[in-house]
């Protein structure tokens, strides 16, 4: 009985990733390393690291160099290992710095660039699968460009087999007409990779060590080289300028919006809807034009976010309505709340079920109990409001005395009249009433009625006298 041939493994769990992220990116005209520039809620390189995370690669090594400490800070939350390339001497030199970290590793090494934020999981999985199934020592990603100027051309034999990469400065006129280019994304057999890296010689032009030379070395050693064609060139092209960064953001933004609509979210104007790659939005939620959902925001089912609102790093429950022009930052909002229009929720707020925060209300670092209402023109800061509290228009909690912040506590069922000042620290008892226009500096007992204003005085006929006097002038 013939033996069954075992299919090669293509699991990302058998591979390590090396992400090259050591350069400055001088064309960005920035003091920041190129790969930490923000893009769609993540640093640019974060999109590449997310691909590695989602695919579950065994280890991810990030080669850093320019402003290495800044890169470490930005990527501190990622489960990666940093490898320092003190002198940036080319891509082959960058990968060679990982040799000590990967000593003894016999699997496959993915080599990715940190400036390709449009890279997809599917393309990397194809790369791994092709590499395993073709039993190659190296597999390279290629793509085709209408204008391949500036890129190394992929050369093939008459049967279409890979026979090398030629840089543009060294290409013949016929070779320059080739549209297929090297994308700089690879999968290597680890032992063969590091053997070949030690044989790479500096380029005659810049004196740097370039990774495509490894392919030429492996070919001379009769190693099998496979290729994977990226049908969408945008996936593999690096970001080098601010203009290219903006173009990449446009692609990422539309990808996220399309994914949301496929999952049951209504985006009334996809062209002006901006949602972070880290955000989640529940089904039957409607996003109006000019909405911005930033950071790791989570929005539940059946919510409505109206035009011009911005929500960052917040959690919204089900059935929440955010009216026009609201700013919501680092807030927790429970089911069926209504916010706005033009409300500002600063960081640290927790709103319980069916809370209403109305027009031109600012709330900061406060807890607002179930069913409570702060309808309009009010500031609530460093406060705890119980259930079914009503706060009248123009009320402010005076939480800062020039030296420190103090707490205001308003217990269940209390009613605060319009244009009141609650001078913290202060407590308004359960079911208490505060008369409109009051300045409250002392505790109000439960069910008490508090007046904190001067006694009204009426002077009969005085208004007519004043008008007469003014008329004589």
Q: What is the pLDDT of residues 13-33, one digit of tens each?
A: 789 999 999 999 999 999 999
pLDDT the model gives residue 14: 84
Residue carrying structure tokens 């035009």: 307
Domain ranges of the chain: 12-235, 242-450
Please provide residue 191's backbone torsions phi and psi, each rounded to the nearest 5 degrees.
Answer: -60, -40
**Exposure string over 412-435, b if 16+ CB within 10 A, otherwise e:** bbbbbbbbbbbbbebbbbebbbbb
Let me know if the fold of 12-235 is the same as that of 242-450. no
- Are 18 and 109 in contact by the 8 Å Cβ rule? The answer is yes
Catalytic residue (one of 37, 131, 306, 376): 376
Over range 131-146, report the average pLDDT: 96
Q: What is the pLDDT of residues 319-348, one digit of tens each?
A: 999 999 999 999 999 999 999 999 999 999
pTM: 0.88
- Are 251 and 231 in contact by the 8 Å Cβ rule? The answer is no
pLDDT at 203 over 90: no
- Are 262 and 242 in contact by the 8 Å Cβ rule? The answer is no
242-450 homologous superfamily: Hexapeptide repeat proteins (2.160.10.10)
- Among residues of the chain, what percentage have pLDDT more than 90? 92
How many CB atoms are closer than 10 A to CB 272? 17
Beta bridge partners of 298: 280, 315
When pLDDT is cut at 50, 70 and 90, the band that residue 10 belongs to is low
pLDDT the model gives residue 1: 40
Q: What is the pLDDT of residues 62-79, one digit of tens each?
A: 999 999 999 999 999 999
Check if 37 is active-site. no
**Exposure string over 13-23, b if 16+ CB within 10 A, otherwise e:** eebbbbbbbbb
Q: Is 337 exposed, middle or buried (0-12, 13-18, 19+ CB in 10 A)?
A: buried
State how far the Cα of 227 lies from the Cα of 183, in Å rounded to an integer: 11
Residue carrying structure tokens 């009204």: 456
pLDDT the model gives residue 8: 55
SS (H, E, C) the chain: CCCCCCCCCCCHHHEEEEEEECCCCHHHCCCCCHHHCEECCEEHHHHHHHHHHHHCCCEEEEEECCCHHHHHHHCCCCCCEEEECCCCCCHHHHHHCCCCCCCCCCCEEEEEECCCCCCCHHHHHHHHHHHHHCCCCEEEEEEECCCCCCCCEEEECCCCCEEEEECHHHCCHHHHCCCEEEEEEEEEEHHHHHHHHCCCCCCCCCCCCCCHHHHHHHHHCCCCEEEEEECCHHHCCCCCCHHHHHHHHHHHHHHHHHHHHHCCCEECCHHHCEECCCCEECCCCEECCCCEEECCCEECCCCEECCCCEEECCEECCCCEECCCCEEECCEECCCCEECCCCEECCCCEECCCCEEEECCEEECCEECCCCEEEECCEEECEEECCCCEECCCCEEECECCCCECCEEECCCCEECCCCEEECCEEECCCCEECCCCEECCCECCCCEECCCCCCCCCCCHHHHHHHHHHHC
Q: How far is CA 205 from CA 202, 208, 210, 215, in A?
A: 9, 8, 11, 19
State the fold for domain 12-235. Answer: Spore Coat Polysaccharide Biosynthesis Protein SpsA; Chain A (3.90.550)
Closest CA to 25 of 35, 16, 17, 15: 35
When pLDDT is cut at 50, 70 and 90, the band that residue 204 belongs to is confident
Q: How far is CA 380 from CA 344, 383, 407, in A?
A: 11, 7, 10
Over range 408-433, report the average pLDDT: 98
pLDDT the model gives residue 3: 45
pLDDT at 292 over 90: yes
Q: What is the pLDDT of residues 433-459, one digit of tens each?
A: 999 999 999 999 999 999 998 888 999
pLDDT the model gives residue 2: 41
How many CB atoms are closer than 10 A to CB 441? 13
Question: Which structure tokens are listed for 383?
Answer: 């406060």
| Sheet containing 421-423: order of strands | 274-275, 292-294, 310-312, 327-329, 344-345, 362-364, 379-381, 396-398, 421-423, 439-440
């Amino acid at each position: 009985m013939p033996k069954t041939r075992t299919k090669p493994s293509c699991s990302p769990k058998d591979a390590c990733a090396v992400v090259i992220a050591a350069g400055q990116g001088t064309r960005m005209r920035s003091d920041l390393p190129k790969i930490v520039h923000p893009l769609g809620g993540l640093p640019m390189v974060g999109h590449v690291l997310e691909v590695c995370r989602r695919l579950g690669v065994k280890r991810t090594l990030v080669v850093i160099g320019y402003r290495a400490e800044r890169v470490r800070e930005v990527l501190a939350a990622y489960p990666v290992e940093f490898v320092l390339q003190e002198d940036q001497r080319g891509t082959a030199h960058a990968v060679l710095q990982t040799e000590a970290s990967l000593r003894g590793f016999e699997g496959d090494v993915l080599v990715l660039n940190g400036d390709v934020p449009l890279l997809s999981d599917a393309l990397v999985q194809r790369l791994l699968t092709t590499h395993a199934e073709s039993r190659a020592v190296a597999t390279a990603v290629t793509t085709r460009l209408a204008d391949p100027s500036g890129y190394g051309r992929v050369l093939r034999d008459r049967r279409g087999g890979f026979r090398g990469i030629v840089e543009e400065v060294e290409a013949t006129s016929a070779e320059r007409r080739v549209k297929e280019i090297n994308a700089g994304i690879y999968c290597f057999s680890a032992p063969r990779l590091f053997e070949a890296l030690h044989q790479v010689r500096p380029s005659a032009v810049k004196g740097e060590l370039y990774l495509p030379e490894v392919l030429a070395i492996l070919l001379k050693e009769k190693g099998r080289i496979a290729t994977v064609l990226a049908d969408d060139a945008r996936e593999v092209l690096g970001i080098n300028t601010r203009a290219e960064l903006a173009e990449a953001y446009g692609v990422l933004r539309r990808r996220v919006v399309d994914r949301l609509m496929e999952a049951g979210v209504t985006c009334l104007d996809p062209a002006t809807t901006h949602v972070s790659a880290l955000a989640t939005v529940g089904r039957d939620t409607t996003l109006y034009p000019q909405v911005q959902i930033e950071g790791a925001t989570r929005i539940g089912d059946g919510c409505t976010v109206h035009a011009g609102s911005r929500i960052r790093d917040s959690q919204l429950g089900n059935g929440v309505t955010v009216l026009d022009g609201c700013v919501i930052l680092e807030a927790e909002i429970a089911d069926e709340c209504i916010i706005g229009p033009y409300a500002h929720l600063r960081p640290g707020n927790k709103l319980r079920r069916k809370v209403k925060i109305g027009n031109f209300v600012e709330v900061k670092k406060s807890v607002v109990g179930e069913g409570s209402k702060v309808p309009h023109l009010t500031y609530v800061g460093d406060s705890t409001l119980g259930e079914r509290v009503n706060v009248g228009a123009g009320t402010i909690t005076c939480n800062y005395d020039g030296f420190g912040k103090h707490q205001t506590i308003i217990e269940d069922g209390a009613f605060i009249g319009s244009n009141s000042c609650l001078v913290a620290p202060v407590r308004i008892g359960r079911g208490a009433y505060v008369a409109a226009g009051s300045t409250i500096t002392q505790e109000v007992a439960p069910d008490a009625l508090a007046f904190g204003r001067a006694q009204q005085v009426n002077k009969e006929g005085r208004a007519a006298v004043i008008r007469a006097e003014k008329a004589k002038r």
